[in-house]
Amino acid sequence: MRLRNDFTSETRELFTWNYECWWCGQNHWNAFHHIKGRSSSSPLNACPINNEVCHIGNGKLATFDVQTTLLKKTFEYLVKINYSITDDDKKFIKSNKQHYEKFLSKQTLRNI
């Protein structure tokens, strides 16, 4: 599947075996949503989603709680597939610390 966005082919490959739209849970994702905007193309900022049904016009995606939920889901997914956190990912986590401190321990955040 070829998606149009700023994410690298390496990031797209990380989600090859994921079939679930992270908004509705159905097997119909066809795009990546930038959870925290297009300022970062870190895989931690990627959310597989159905563009027409779940993404376009969905203002709830911009709320703090939903962003935190999506960031957590992405983080947990990447940990599960043994993704190695890069320096860019660490910068992304630090710049979005208010979200990550909701689901990561203080010790984990210190180690990043």
pTM confidence score: 0.91
SS (H, E, C) the chain: CCCCCCCCHHHHHHCCCCCCCCCCCCCCCCEEEECCCCCCCCHHHEEEECHHHHHCCCHHHHCHHHHHHHHHHHHHHHHHCCCCCCHHHHHHHHHCHHHHCCCCCHHHHHHC
pLDDT 10s per residue in the chain (112 long)?
444 557 889 999 999 999 999 999 999 999 999 999 998 999 999 999 999 999 999 999 999 999 999 999 999 999 999 999 999 999 999 999 999 999 999 998 888 8
